[in-house]
Amino acid sequence: MEQPSGSQQPAFERVSFVRPCVYCGARLAVFVSREAGSGETHNYECPECGKDYPVHAALEPLVSLLEPRTDGKDDRYMETLF
């Protein structure tokens, strides 16, 4: 891990939440860091089906799988390309 080259540590707030994947039903724990006064939208992917979700965060979110998908399939979420 590389440290940023500033002397001041930004005030990151770490937030985690559990969110089910609306596509496949897996339960995901999502860990994000938020920075006071700023923030961008990052995307995280469901590890089971690949559907991605936007989240407001300062850094790339981390996702861990709590419970596997419940839809009994093994397909991947496909964005509708029309």
The residues that touch Zn ion, with contacts defined as CB under 5 A, are 21, 23-24, 26, 46, 48-49, 51
| Min CB(30)–Zn ion separation in Å | 12
The whole-angstrom distance between residue 46's C-alpha and the CA centroid of its chain comes to 8
| Min CB(78)–Zn ion separation in Å | 12
Contact 76, 23 (CB under 8 A): no
Residue number with CB closer to Zn ion (26 or 55): 26
| Min CB(5)–Zn ion separation in Å | 37
Cα–Cα distance for residue pair 19/12, rounded to 1 Å = 21
